[in-house]
Amino acid sequence: MKKQAVNPYLPSWEYIPDGEPHVFGGRVYIYGSHDKFNGVSFCLNDYVGWSAPVDDLSDWRYEGVTWRKKQAPGLNIGFMNSMFASDCCRGPDGRYYLYYFIGFKSVISVAVCDTPAGKFEFLGRVKYADGKVIGSKKEPLQFDPAIFVDDDGRVYLYTGFGPVKAPPFMLGKKPTVKGAMCFELEPDMTTVKSEGFTYIGVPAEAGAKGTPYEGHGFFEAASMRKFNGKYYFVYSSILGHELCYAVSDNPMTGFKYGGTLVSNGDIGVNGHTNPKDAGDFTGNTHGGLVEANGKYYVFYHRQTNRHQFSRQACAEEIKMNPDGGFEQAERTSCGLNGGPLRGEGKYEARIACVLKAKQGNRFYMFGKKNNEPYFTQTGADREDNPDQYIANFGDGCTAGFKYFDLQNPKNISVTVKGAAKGKLSVTDNEYGGNTLAEIEINPSKQYFGFSAPLIAASGKTALFFKFAGAGTFDFKEFELR
């Protein structure tokens, strides 16, 4: 039986945010950064690669470490040690070029390899013809490089960072109100073709008032794609939790606001309007679009462990309308599966696409709260022994899973442990809906299975688990049979 795809689509011990998908040689490759589980800052691990065949996005293969910090000349230490979001392209010469950014030096570097999976070797800094690196003059802060090679072989680099106020780590650089920038590069892939950059027409929030971008101004996470002759610029907006897009007939200018592609709290769909009533705890996001095997997908990341430093790669199929615009994707547990999950068997609680606290959700910053459910794992950061689960599931908490192709299963069970006592109601709607089962939960020091009959249900169905009672438990998995 073919393996199913779930969200997050990589093993539960893998924390890859900022995932940029690219199709090379019949495979989708993911380039991003690499968080450390329970890290104290962003992107603390070396870059690693994953890929899957375009016709089976459940079959992800680990490609190994693609680029190590120790290979990067001029590396700082401490917080500036973070290797932020990367992007990759196939150059006009057929080789693969990885663009990356370390700390907040405002310097973008390039590594190169003969294959898309690495191992990459340092090539140089992106620089002007006079040899000065970009970021060393009076440009705004460079950040989150995106690289794009057009059909005619011309090469474009997109960067930018647009907070409303400059945080201390910007080291004296001013935020740009004009937003995202573009440099055209020479065929050597490191030299800027002219002495400056072009603002592409996607303003930061400070310059978005009175425009269609207002409320969704450019913040970070530049990404560029071309579909059907149109250029699609993807970015993370000032709201943080959403990826938006803009469209143009020109890769360097004239971009018009298109809308939201995806929110890691589903804000904008399913009745969610703000972080408090979001479908999940929100935080920053970064990703891109890809066309694979005749379908479009949007890649993004979710938050875990009650902070923004242990983020995981997710993806959804997304609909392009006849006019070339995209409809906002709904977050699901079945993301790349091509349809609902089978309505039988065991499923890990970690694939919940809805996770809500009784008092409502929030945008993760840097403080942890004890009255919230959250995704976590035991032990330290590692590359094996997956055991992710939902912790601290208490009264009024909800975990939702979308979607399943139910064929009238007769029973549902959950595997939990903790000091909780109460009732776990299973419904087919986040806001109530039909009650499908009621499972009695009792205290258990070890993982234990509690079950109940499942009321007849068939077809594409969501499952929402809501607890009422005292104490909290860890939610490991559930089974349909």
- Nearest one of 336, 389, 311, 422 to 35, comparing CA atoms: 311
- Percent of the chain residues topping a pLDDT of 70: 96
Q: Could you say which of 14, 18, 316, 348 is catalytic? A: 18
Domains of the chain, first to last:
20-318 (2.115.10.20), 343-480 (2.60.120.260)
Reading the block at residue 353, the tokens are 């696409």
For residue 77, what pLDDT band results from cuts at 50, 70 and 90?
very low
DSSP 305-318: TTEEEEEEEEEEEE
Q: Report whether pLDDT(312) > 70.
A: yes
For residue 80, what pLDDT band results from cuts at 50, 70 and 90?
low
Kindly give, in sequence order, each residue whose CB lies less than 8 Å from that of residue 413, ignoring residues fewer than 6 positions away: 439, 449, 450, 451, 452, 478, 479, 481
Q: Is the separation of the CB atoms in 7 and 351 below 8 Å? A: yes
Reading the block at residue 391, the tokens are 């912790």
Q: Is the separation of the CB atoms in 17 and 32 below 8 Å? A: yes
Pairing relation of β-strands 242-248 and 230-237? antiparallel
For residue 26, what pLDDT band results from cuts at 50, 70 and 90?
very high
pLDDT at position 172: 65
pLDDT at position 211: 98
pTM above 0.95, yes or no: yes
The residue ranking higher by pLDDT, 13 or 75, is: 13
Pairing relation of β-strands 398-407 and 458-470? antiparallel
- Nearest one of 464, 476, 467, 434 to 353, comparing CA atoms: 464
DSSP 318-368: EPBPTTS-BPPPPP-SSTTSSSPEESSEEEEGGG-SEEE-TT---B--S--
Average pLDDT over residues 285-299: 98
Query: What is the DSSP secondary structure assignment for residue 423, as one 8-state letter?
Result: E
Average pLDDT over residues 104-110: 83
Least confident of 66-80, 126-140, 327-341: 66-80
- Percent of the chain residues topping a pLDDT of 90: 85
pLDDT at position 421: 98
pLDDT at position 13: 98
CA count, 13 A, side-chain hemisphere, 201: 18
Assess whether 46 carries a catalytic annotation.
Answer: no
For residue 16, what pLDDT band results from cuts at 50, 70 and 90?
very high
- Residue located via tokens 């590594």: 111
CA distance 125 to 249: 29
pLDDT at position 270: 94
Assess whether 428 carries a catalytic annotation.
Answer: no
Q: Report whether pLDDT(249) > 70.
A: yes
Least confident of 72-86, 247-261, 282-296, 424-438: 72-86
Q: Could you say which of 63, 87, 205, 220 is catalytic? A: 220
Q: Report whether pLDDT(160) > 90.
A: yes
Question: Which is it for the CA torsion 124, 126, 132, 137, positive or negative?
Answer: negative
